[in-house]
Structures are given as structure tokens and as C-alpha cells.
Amino acid sequence: MPELPEVETTRRGLAPHLEGRRVRGVTLRRPDLRWPIPPEVAAELPGQRIESVRRRAKYLLLDTQAGSALLHLGMSGSLRVLPADTPPRLHDHVDIALSRDAGQPDRVLRFTDPRRFGCLLWQPAGELHPLLRGLGPEPLGDGFDGDYLHARSRGRKVALKAFLMDQKVVVGVGNIYVAEALFAAGVSPMRAAGRVSRERYAAIAAEIRAVLARAIARGGTTLRDFLAPDGAPGYFEQELSAYGRGGEPCLRCGRALRHAMVGQRATVWCGHCQR
């Protein structure tokens, strides 16, 4: 599933093509994805100017005066800006037609989702969609640091990795990037969250920021279906130190990396370097 760097890569790729454009129409080739597509999407969005393309956690929002189209890529979704006469394929479920400059071809924002675990929902102006309520701070924002993590973790017996993947604690730090940040910080994902010191949380927060920034700069991590809006793969997978490397030599000490399941997610760490 695309994680925060993949979604941020998508946002940055789409924003120059969408911001300032007016929506000429919406074509829905099916009534639902993961959930039914609200009628407001087709009724309210046409005629609106897209003022901004935002990301909140792993959701993208196309903001207009009437409200925001709320999108999630799910496990296999992608968003591309294409010429309007590009024939739709089997899994091209939604087209959002865009205004154009004089002399330029008509274009559409096309939402493709083979597995249909993504979503297209509507957030009325001045309201907050239920999916966005109760979310923790953005890991690249000002509200996220070691002091915050230390305060939130007190008394928590849950494994550190599960704590960091709790969207109520911090958003968007999925399995790949938690594994990489904890490896870089030298902290075991199996340690109880409430037994990690303030100093170690400062290191963890700094490594989360660093690993996410590097992944965004490299276009995310290509796993299975993800591609950026321009069709290019992400290259961060070539730099992974822990994720997906269970049983292979640790890049620091050479010992075999350990692997186990934490919260039904594959977890890899070095029993020697991460304590």
C-alpha cells in the first residue's frame, strides 16, 4: 500500500497540473470503490476551481470553495493527468475533466484502481470528514518530535513499532519507514513503547523525519503497483536497510537480521544493533 512518501510524491506531481484549474465535469464509470462514491462528487465538483492539492496522512484533498474531493489510493490506485481522448481501460474508474489554457489539449485527472481498495469521497466546505478526525500530527510537521512521542508513550506496553504505526499517535509512518527509522536509530521494534527514554525518542523522531524526507526525494518506494503520476517508479527501495531483508546480513554488523510478526505486519530488525 502506498505510504506517506508515495502519497506526497503523487501530490507534488499533480499540484502543478491541477491547482488553478476549473473542473469541467466528472465521469464515474462505477458507483463505488472501497465505499460508495457520494453524489456530491459529481454534483458539487463541476464548475469549481481547484484551489489547492493537499495531503493529510495518506489522503489527498482537492480543495474548492464548495468542498474537497477526498481520495485514497488504497493498495493499487494511481492518479494521472492525461489527454482527455485517452481511451479508458478496465480499471480506470473516474475522470475529472479540467479546464485548459488556449491552444492546449483537453486533459483529465484519471483515477485507476484495479483492486478498488481506494476511495473518492466528499468533504463539504467548513467540515472535517470522519476519516480525518482523531488523527495524530504529521511526522514532517512542527507538532512532531521526541518530546511528543515520549509524552504519548508513557504507560504504554504495546510494542514500539505498533505504537509508531498508530495513526492516532502519528500519521503516515507505515511499515517500511518505521522499520528503516528504528534501524537507523538503533532501537528494537519489540521494545515496549513506555520503556523508551526521552533521548531515544528524540533520535527516533529525527530518523523518521530523515527517512521520510529521503524517500520523498527519491519518489517513494516501488512495491508492487505504485508508480508516480508521471509513470516513474520510486527508487528508495534500493536503499532499504531492514524492511524486507529478514535473514540477510545486517549492513552494520553482518549478523543475520531477525524477523517476526508485530500487529500482523512483517517486522525485521537486528538483534545486535537495535536494543
Rounded Cα distance, 168 and 269, in Å:
24
What's the pLDDT tens digit per position in 5-21? Answer: 889 999 999 999 999 99
The domains of the chain are located at 4-132, 146-269
* Distances from the Cα of 152 to the Cα of 51, 134, 168, angstroms: 35, 14, 10
Instruction: With H, G, I as helix, E, B as strand and everything else as coil, classify residue 159.
Output: strand
Supply the DSSP string of 72-131, one letter for each residue.
E-TTT-EEEEEETTSPP-TTEEEEEEE---TTSPPEEEEEE-SS---EEEEEETT---GG
Report the 10 Å Cβ neighbour count for 48. Answer: 18
What's the pLDDT tens digit per position in 225-258? Answer: 334 455 544 444 557 899 999 999 999 999 999 9
CATH code for the part of the protein at 4-132: 3.20.190.10
Q: Which residues of 166-195 are buried (b: 16+ CB within 10 A; e: fewer)?
A: beebbbbbbbbbbbbbbbbbbbbbbbebee
Rounded Cα distance, 85 and 264, in Å:
43
**Catalytic positions, please?**
2-3, 58, 265
- Measure CA 252 to chain center: 29
CATH class of residue range 146-269 = mainly alpha
What's the pLDDT tens digit per position in 41-76? Answer: 999 999 999 999 999 999 999 999 999 999 999 988
Cα-flanking dihedrals φ and ψ of residue 268, to 5°? -125, 135
Rounded Cα distance, 192 and 171, in Å:
20
Average per-residue pLDDT in the chain? Answer: 91
The whole-number pLDDT of residue 236 equals 45
